[in-house]
Amino acid sequence: MNYLEYFYPGTMLLVVLFTSIFSTFSVIEDRKEGFLQAVLVAPVSRLAIVFGKVLGGTTLAVLQGVILLFLAPLLGVRISFSKALVVALGLLLLSLWLTAAGFAIAWRISSSSGFHGIMNLLLMPMWMLSGALFPMEGAAGWLQWVMRANPLTYALILLREPLYWGTAAPAGPFAQSWEVSLIVNLVCCVVATVAAVRAMEPVRGVAAA
């Protein structure tokens, strides 16, 4: 494959990554405007509050990712309906845990600039070391271990490998590991959701007091 074709899934990952994370920026704004106080005293569970914000950000991220998915034929990537459906499901799962992770962080931060700083410090290195820019096989040994520990590496595999199922083209840094990547992303989704729910406990306790 040419580099543009290789870079294409990484572009989808980048769009979904920033849309998911920065959709939770509204959490900080809602706290400043006092909207969160009304939400916290409402007779709803913390899980419902989390899912309300997370599903909203997830919807935006998935829609933008699907728009890029429709551009695949322009890059020479032949994609069937079944492959597109698998990639779309991968986008959904990825967006869920990224938005939940952003929610968990934004809930504990009161400064907009601090949120942007933390996110940029974490997101850009994680994306660059996910295999989006270069394959793992060409990296140094220690860097390969860093990429293996990066959850976005498995998120990228979830998006890239289905595009090349049934072809002889290399699919990603971990060949034939889509199932492993699916499990990793499911675990990340559960962990991020739990972290988002638990992040609300101190604030809810203060509000109740």
pLDDT digits (tens, 9 = 90+) for 66-104: 998 888 888 777 788 888 899 999 999 999 999 999 888
Residues 152 and 17 sit within 8 Å (Cβ to Cβ): yes
pTM comes to 0.82
Per-residue confidence (pLDDT) for residue 208, from 0 to 100: 39
* Structural domain boundaries in the chain: 3-208
Give which of 138, 194, 191, 129 is closest to 156, Cα–Cα. 129
Rounded to an integer, the average pLDDT of 162-177 is: 59
Per-residue confidence (pLDDT) for residue 63, from 0 to 100: 92
Distance CA 157, CA 96 (A): 16
